[in-house]
Amino acid sequence: MRIGIDLGGHTLTAALVSEPDGELLPRVERIKTRNTPPGRGVREVMQAMADVVESLADGSGDVISIGVAVPGALDAARRRSLRLSNFPKEWDDLDLLRTFGDVLKARRISAQIYIENDANCYALGEWRAGEAIGVSDFVVFTMGTGIGCGIITGGELLTGAHGMAAEGGHLVIGGDIPCGCGGRGHAETLAAADGTAARAAAKGIPADFGELWAMRGSADADEVLETTLDAMARTIASVCHLLDPELVIIGGGMSQADGIGKALYERTLPYMSYPFKGLLDLRISKLGNEAPLYGAAGMGHIA
């Protein structure tokens, strides 16, 4: 058995994943969800992660590995967190592997630990158990509070020179809105739920994406949503031109909006050059929130 943990700003989810032989796919055997400790301090979060590991591992035999999907930038060696933008500064340049390893050791849990960026874990999960089984070139975008991105190219996870590649949510697609990352004009300032909510609030209409989506057909909602879809379409087209993927997978909370896959497909095509136009295969993730758990749990397996 292997354990995958998805560390989010609000929720911490962990799953015990089976490791079948042969042709069978891995399967989530047990899943636990709890709130991320308020304040998101290193010590509190580490203890919370160890708690869920302990309760998942109880009675299930040997846990071979524990993988953590981390919401932020990691060093190239996948040992330290460099910057988790929604977490306190004490996470900057933290030896995450050693810190978490020590906490587990104090509880007599010994397992190989892996860490990876959460959107990359999402892509690894789709590769292992979702839409991208057997696909060597694909891109995942997660549409939520921000826009996450994970890229498998040439049969390998794209990590870049410093471990930070695949920040597709920070493609500079236009506009001049300051991004939470420190840059400006980035895709997620327009395409993500937070940016969308800000534009909706300015019009005095519901800021929640699901409610907004249900209001399609009203002029105010359509104006807000068109900006969101257009920004995402530009991002998808640009990444396709750059990487020539076989498949683009859309995940994250916003992807659950009914018909958003078709809406994105239609808006992406006009931005694409020939012969890319005829090749766009855009799908909504079916694994959903479980994708990063499969990816995190499978890290030692894939490596």
Give residues in contact with Zn ion (CB under 5 A): 170, 179, 181, 183, 186
Which H/E stretch holds residue 127? helix 118-129
CB of 155 to Zn ion, least distance (A): 28
Q: Which DSSP category does 108 fall into?
A: T
Q: Assess contact for 148 and 122: CB atoms under 8 A.
A: yes
Task: Name which of 188 and 290 has its Cβ closer to Zn ion.
Answer: 188
CB of 181 to Zn ion, least distance (A): 3
CA angle 54, 59, 60 (to 5 degrees): 90
Task: Name which of 50 and 231 has its Cβ closer to Zn ion.
Answer: 231
CB of 180 to Zn ion, least distance (A): 6
Taking the C-alpha atoms of residue 135 and residue 281, their distance in angstroms, rounded to an integer, is 12
CB of 192 to Zn ion, least distance (A): 10
Task: Name which of 20 and 182 has its Cβ closer to Zn ion.
Answer: 182
Residue keyed to tokens 């997660």: 142
Task: Name which of 140 and 187 has its Cβ closer to Zn ion.
Answer: 187
Does the bond joining 292 to the residue before it have cis omega, within 30 degrees of 0? no
CB of 245 to Zn ion, least distance (A): 22
Closest residue to Zn ion, judged by C-beta, is 179
How many beta carbons lie within 10 A of that of residue 81, not counting itself? 24
Coil, strand or helix: which one is 5?
A: strand
Task: Name which of 73 and 179 has its Cβ closer to Zn ion.
Answer: 179
Phi then psi dihedrals of residue 160, to 5 deg: 80, 180
CB of 173 to Zn ion, least distance (A): 11
CB of 299 to Zn ion, least distance (A): 26
Task: Name which of 20 and 178 has its Cβ closer to Zn ion.
Answer: 178
How many beta carbons lie within 10 A of that of residue 109, not counting itself? 17
Question: Bridge partners of 184?
Answer: 178
Chain centre to alpha carbon of residue 232: 15
Q: Which DSSP category does 184 fall into?
A: B
Burial class (CB in 10 A: 0-12, 13-18, 19+), 274: exposed
Task: Name which of 170 and 234 has its Cβ closer to Zn ion.
Answer: 170
